[in-house]
Structure 1
Amino acid sequence: MELAFPWPYTQGEWLAWSSAAITVLFGLVTLFAPRLSLKALRLQTAPNHPEAVAESRATMSGFYLGAGLCCILLAQPLLYLTLGASWALTAFGRVVSMLSDRGNTAYNWIVLTIEIVLAGLPLAFALGFVG
């Protein structure tokens, strides 16, 4: 079996790959600069709980890097479907929060838009809307 990097060729593959690459970028930032990522997400850690930073490195970067790298390295439509569904559910959670937690802020609308785009790109390819 020959191991080769599956470079995207079609427009749909490029769209899905782009979402995966951005997801990996988010993962690298949360892994190597967790305080910066927490600040961007408008979260704070308690000074006497350093494990909160470890949770950011582990949980957030683990999902972003695991899902994104699997998509990039294996380039399978079902993996892109998983990535898109994960981002779609992330966006759904944000909408629920905006409706029930009085989170109707400009920040939430901007991040919701980004999450919808990151969900839509791989879903469009995996579901066959773009080739």
Structure 2
Amino acid sequence: MIEISFPDQWPERLAWITALATVLIGLGLMLAPRPFMKFLGLATDGKTQNGVSEVRGPFGGMWVGMGLACLLLAQPFTYFALGLAFLFAVIGRVISFAADRTFNIHCCVATFFEVLSAYFPLRFAAEAFGLL
């Protein structure tokens, strides 16, 4: 039987909290995509609902799946994958800062949280792998 338990050590706790936040945000994206889209400044073109579908599926669904994998399996490799995913989100943001000129308060705050969301799981995985 798989059970979700809160970890004893702080590095894993922070990674666990990151996974839980990922699940909760993903559920919000899946269940209420329009308010999230409004908050994020995203819009549909009015002709199709493909934008809403993208927010529900690839964004929300992937976040829920990745976060649940970490919470249910509680393995360093799953946390490593979560951290790596957020690391590449940060890399995409940095590219967007230069290419799209999106260096604004919204994107900077999001990047800060994405850096933390990459750091905590990667730190835990690195410790578990004996790299730190």
TM-score normalised over the length of structure 1: 0.92
Shift of 1:8: 1.1
Shift of 1:3: 3.6
Regions of 4+ moved over 6 Å: none
**Hey, what's the Cα distance between the residues in 1 that align with 2:3 and 2:90?**
33
Structure 2, gaps ≥5 residues long: none
**Hey, what's the Cα distance between the residues in 2 that align with 1:21 and 1:15?**
10
Query: Judging changes above 3 Å, is the alpha-carbon distance between structure 1 residues 47 and 18 closer, same or farther for their aligned structure 2 residues?
Result: same
TM-score normalised over the length of structure 2: 0.91
Matches within 5 A, 1:105-124: 105-124=104-123
Q: Deviations over 1:58-110 (max 9, x none)?
A: 11011100100000011000000000000010011001000111111111111
**Hey, what's the Cα distance between the residues in 2 that align with 1:29 and 1:3?**
24
Residue 50 of structure 1 is matched in structure 2 by 49
Residue 28 of structure 2 is matched in structure 1 by 29
Q: Which amino acid aligns with 1:32?
A: L
- Identical aligned pairs, as a percentage? 36
Q: Which amino acid aligns with 2:106?
A: Y
Shift of 1:51: 2.6
**Hey, what's the Cα distance between the residues in 1 that align with 2:2 and 2:54?**
34
